[in-house]
């Protein structure tokens, strides 16, 4: 497996793959890899001949009060995991490689990025779009795989790809959870044992909402209120809980099974978790 640290190496490698008739899939990550990330590599391998995983904690998507400096790292383990999953290459740039000191160009999606996580984190999706657009130009993939765990992120990236004519297919891979339901996340490492136990209320509330919808419930306000009660009872403060349309991300008053999802973000003692479920 190749381990690259410069954009030039990655670009040359990708172009060489294509000249040799092989397709390339990109899996962008911030590292501290877990089973969720590995599922994206497996999904990517189904679609393309070779997979490149980028590992880069992108400073431009963190606000000054967020956890950029505390974000967990374990690069050596991450490289070994990528190799074990059959990735062909890993791209591990540093911030200077990705951003010239006087970089002054941004990529910003201005509609889907506004609500939900974008409302609480106003510069977040601008940073995400900018770094993903750069990774797309650097790695020139045929396919890129993102997790449903970050539902709004995939919607924003799909819109950017459409609007800016990136010739790249975007795949959304399902959420991987711990056995007890907690969605896997690099940030789960911040949870104390007690907080983790109480964090199970997020997935429990979403599963219960899905069961209610399967049993005929359609009233979004009622579903959202029940979820709020469930997580609040366990000490989690909801940032947002919304039944939404999966394409436009607009909040719905009535669930439309097949095209609706519930998006959820909660905070507790400075830690913020997100989760979602398709209805
Ligand atoms: P991150 O390293 O958190 O930026 O995530 C990199 C990619 O992995 C994103 O596309 C995430 O949506 C995806 N991802 C993170 N956690 C999970 C999970 N539990 N299941 C599936 N995909 C995930």
pLDDT one-digit tens code per residue, 267-278: 999 999 999 999
pLDDT computed for residue 138 by the predictor: 98
Task: Please give the distance, rounded to the nearest whole angstrom, from the Cα atom of residue 55 to the centre of ligand 1.
Answer: 12
**Å from CA of 56 to ligand 1 middle:** 13
pLDDT in tens, 83-127: 999 999 999 999 999 999 999 999 999 999 999 999 999 999 999
CB of 39 closer than 6 angstroms to any ligand 1 atom: yes
Mean pLDDT (the chain) is 97
Kindly give the parts of the chain with pLDDT less than 50: none
What is the predicted pLDDT for the residue at 169?
98
The pTM for the full model equals: 0.97
Residue nearest to atom 22 of ligand 1 (CA): 147
User: Which fold does the domain 186-278 belong to in CATH?
Assistant: 3.30.1300
Our mutation pick for probing the ligand 1 site, out of 40, 127, 265, counting the most ligand atoms within 8 A of Cβ, is: 40
User: Domain residues of the chain, as ranges?
Assistant: 2-173, 186-278
CB distance 131 to ligand 1 below 6 Å: no
User: For atom 10 of ligand 1, which residue has the closest CA?
Assistant: 146
State residue 107's pLDDT score.
98
Helices 124-139 and 151-163: angle between axes, nearest 10 degrees: 60
Topology adopted by domain 2-173: Rossmann fold (3.40.50)
């Amino acid at each position: 497996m190749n381990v690259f640290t410069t954009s030039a190496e990655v670009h040359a490698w990708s172009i060489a793959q294509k000249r040799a008739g092989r397709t390339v899939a990109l899996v962008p990550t911030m590292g501290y890899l877990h089973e969720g990330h590995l599922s994206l590599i497996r999904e990517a391998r189904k679609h393309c001949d070779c997979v490149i995983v980028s590992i880069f904690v992108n400073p431009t998507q963190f606000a000054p009060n967020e956890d950029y400096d505390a974000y967990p790292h374990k690069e050596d383990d991450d490289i070994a995991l990528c190799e074990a999953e059959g990735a062909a290459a890993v791209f591990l740039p540093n911030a200077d490689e990705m951003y010239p000191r006087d970089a002054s160009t941004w990529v910003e999606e201005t509609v889907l990025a506004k609500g939900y996580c974008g409302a609480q984190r106003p510069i977040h999706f601008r940073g995400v779009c900018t770094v993903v657009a750069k990774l797309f130009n650097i790695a020139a993939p045929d396919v890129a795989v993102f997790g449903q765990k970050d539902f709004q992120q995939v919607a924003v990236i799909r819109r950017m790809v459409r609007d800016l004519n990136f010739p790249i297919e975007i795949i959304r891979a399902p959420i991987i959870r711990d056995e007890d339901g907690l969605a896997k996340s690099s940030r789960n490492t911040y949870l104390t044992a007690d907080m983790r136990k109480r964090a199970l209320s997020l997935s429990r509330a979403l599963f219960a909402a899905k069961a209610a919808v399967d049993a005929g419930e359609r009233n979004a306000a009622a579903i959202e209120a029940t979820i709020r009660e469930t997580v609040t009872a366990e000490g989690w403060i909801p940032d947002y809980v919304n039944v939404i349309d999966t394409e436009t991300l607009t909040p719905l008053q009535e669930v439309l099974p097949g095209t609706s999802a519930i998006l959820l973000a909660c905070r507790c003692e400075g830690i913020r978790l997100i989760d979602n479920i398709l209805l």
